[in-house]
């Protein structure tokens, strides 16, 4: 046998060596065939065993599969996690400590999220499986039946779990994370507005349209009205008006000015160009991009974290859509609070000094204040005067320099 490698030549001088090599090749081929036959026999016997056990207990492997998925979910993300905090935040849209806090709270609020045994004594779905399924639908807008491939939860169970999860979050966290601004918070907003060149500003106001795919006819939109502050906290949200309305109609039907007209809201006192004002204002339309983009950035963050807000909603009832939007805003604020840097500069975290803020507490005067405050809010001359004063203020203090 000749083996040519480059210019070198090697020749086997013994014919006996050649026969031994051929015999070695033959033996290896026979051994591989025997191993392949053994593997085929094992595969056939394994399938027969699976078929036999399936006939004896149709739910055996589904139960084992659910238990394995529950164990794997715990191992991969929580107990000695494979993925770090950064990967967890990217997949779940929040930190692990916030996720575990939500899990603990809703377990105490609703027994549905506790892992229970059925009538036959078998363990059901774990809390982490239920919450993970709901959050994946929120974050990625995947169909309900797609969670069966990842978490092994059926479509109907996923929809049921998701709706109960929405309602639990709204019931538990809405009072705190959808609260109206307090006296201290209004004081802080006024100071931040002063620092940014807009004394008396309480935030920026805008509307966003959300598609409703499963409406009975056509593909209409539902409007979300929101007010966001400098750190993207959404402290006012009004959802449910048809998309055929313009922003003015939405503003008139919303409850944004309800506390002001009833005299129960803190009054925001400010001084602009020597003129005293006892009511704050919101930036809207294209008044000032550097501050108006707060609410636009808040909408962008909301849609990027929860894809269900961006896509066409597949649900039929408006109450469910309202719970979805409310839940997304609550969790958005929870994430903002959890990720907030307490040592950040004034625009992010530092508390503002107190300002002169008054609270209407006389019940007998509130009815009279409703009419006067309502007229004051809708006073066109006051609006034009405030706009001109702000223009003069900005030009005097900043000139051609851009406002941060």
**Closest CA relative to residue 237, chosen from 171, 373, 340, 328:** 328
3-class DSSP state for residue 157? helix
- pLDDT bin (cut points 50, 70, 90) of residue 346 is very low
Backbone angles phi, psi at 328, to 5 degrees: -60, -40
Statement: residue 21 has pLDDT above 80: no
pLDDT per residue over 88-139, tens digit each? Answer: 888 888 888 899 899 999 999 999 998 888 787 788 888 888 898 899 888 8
Q: Which residue would you say has higher pLDDT here, 123 or 72?
A: 123
**Closest CA relative to residue 294, chosen from 184, 394, 403, 182:** 403
Statement: residue 14 has pLDDT above 50: no
pLDDT at 291: 57
- pLDDT bin (cut points 50, 70, 90) of residue 212 is confident
Alpha helices in 340-379 (DSSP H): 363-377
Domains in the chain: boundaries: 60-176, 179-398
Alpha helices in 57-151 (DSSP H): 60-77, 85-92, 96-109, 127-140, 147-150
Q: Which residues partner with 210 through β-bridges?
A: 222
Rounded Cα distance, 188 and 268, in Å:
11
- pLDDT bin (cut points 50, 70, 90) of residue 359 is very low
Tokens representing 124? 């059901």
Q: Which residue would you say has higher pLDDT here, 252 or 225?
A: 225
Q: What is the DSSP letter of 171?
A: H
- pLDDT bin (cut points 50, 70, 90) of residue 250 is confident
Statement: residue 189 has pLDDT above 70: yes
**DSSP-based helix, strand, coil % in the chain, nearest 5:** 55, 15, 30
User: What percent of the chain has pLDDT above 90?
Assistant: 12
The Cβ of residue 115 has, within 10 Å, a number of other Cβ atoms equal to 14
- pLDDT bin (cut points 50, 70, 90) of residue 81 is low
Contact 127, 103 (CB under 8 A): yes
Tokens representing 132? 């993970």
pLDDT at 400: 61
- pLDDT bin (cut points 50, 70, 90) of residue 31 is low
Q: Which residue would you say has higher pLDDT here, 304 or 76?
A: 304
pLDDT at 330: 95
Backbone angles phi, psi at 237, to 5 degrees: -145, 135
Tokens representing 404? 């941060």
Contact 259, 278 (CB under 8 A): no
pLDDT at 233: 92
Side-by-side strand order, sheet with 281-283? 234-242, 221-228, 201-211, 281-283
Statement: residue 32 has pLDDT above 50: yes
Statement: residue 211 has pLDDT above 90: no
Contact 202, 186 (CB under 8 A): yes
The Cβ of residue 343 has, within 10 Å, a number of other Cβ atoms equal to 7
3-class DSSP state for residue 217? coil
Contact 121, 100 (CB under 8 A): no
Statement: residue 216 has pLDDT above 80: no
DSSP string for residues in 261-280: HTT-SPEE-EEETTEEESS-
pLDDT at 173: 93
Contact 353, 188 (CB under 8 A): no
pTM of the model as a whole: 0.71
pLDDT per residue over 132-174, tens digit each? Answer: 889 988 888 888 888 777 777 888 888 899 889 989 999 999 9
Q: Calculate mean pLDDT across residues 303-321.
A: 79
Q: What is the mean pLDDT of the chain?
A: 75
Q: What H or E segment, with its residue span, contains residue 206? A: strand 201-211
Out of 9-13, 234-238, 271-275, 348-352, give the one with best mean pLDDT.
Answer: 234-238
pLDDT at 333: 94
Backbone angles phi, psi at 340, to 5 degrees: -65, 135
DSSP string for residues in 121-142: S-B---HHHHHHHHHHHHHH--
């Amino acid at each position: 046998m000749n083996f040519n490698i480059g210019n070198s030549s090697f020749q086997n001088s013994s014919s006996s060596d050649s026969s031994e090599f051929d015999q070695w090749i033959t033996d290896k081929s026979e051994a591989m065939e025997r191993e392949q036959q053994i593997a085929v026999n094992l595969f056939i016997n394994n399938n027969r065993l699976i078929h036999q056990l399936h006939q004896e207990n149709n739910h055996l492997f589904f139960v084992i599969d659910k238990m394995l998925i529950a164990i794997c979910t715990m191992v991969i993300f929580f107990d000695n996690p494979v993925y770090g905090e950064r990967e967890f935040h990217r997949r779940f849209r929040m930190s692990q400590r916030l996720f575990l806090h939500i899990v603990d709270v809703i377990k105490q609020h609703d027994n549905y999220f506790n892992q229970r045994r059925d009538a036959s004594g078998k363990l059901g779905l774990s809390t982490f499986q239920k919450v993970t399924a709901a959050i994946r639908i929120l974050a990625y807008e995947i169909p309900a039946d797609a969670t069966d491939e990842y978490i092994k939860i059926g479509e109907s169970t996923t929809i049921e779990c998701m709706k109960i999860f929405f309602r639990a979050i709204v019931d538990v966290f809405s009072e705190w994370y959808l609260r109206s601004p307090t006296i201290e918070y209004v004081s802080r907003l006024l100071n931040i507005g002063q620092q940014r060149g807009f004394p008396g500003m309480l935030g920026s106001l805008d509307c966003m349209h959300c598609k409703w795919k499963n409406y009975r006819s056509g593909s209409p939109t539902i409007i979300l009205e929101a007010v966001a502050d400098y750190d993207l906290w959404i402290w006012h949200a009004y959802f449910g008006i048809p998309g055929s309305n313009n922003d003015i109609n939405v503003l008139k039907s919303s409850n944004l000015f309800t506390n002001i007209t009833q005299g129960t809201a803190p009054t925001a006192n400010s001084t602009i160009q020597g003129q005293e004002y006892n009511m704050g204002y919101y930036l809207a339309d294209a008044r000032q991009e550097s501050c108006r983009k707060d609410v636009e950035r808040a909408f962008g963050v909301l849609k990027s974290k929860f894809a269900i807000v961006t896509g066409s909603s597949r649900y039929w009832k408006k109450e469910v859509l309202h719970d979805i939007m409310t839940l997304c805003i609550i969790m958005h604020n929870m994430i903002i609070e959890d990720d907030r840097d307490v040592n950040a500069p004034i625009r992010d975290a530092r508390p503002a000094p107190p300002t002169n803020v008054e609270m209407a507490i006389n019940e007998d005067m509130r009815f009279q204040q409703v009419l006067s405050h309502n007229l004051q809010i809708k006073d066109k001359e006051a609006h034009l005067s405030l706009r001109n004063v702000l223009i003069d203020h900005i030009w005097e203090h900043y000139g051609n320099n851009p406002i941060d």
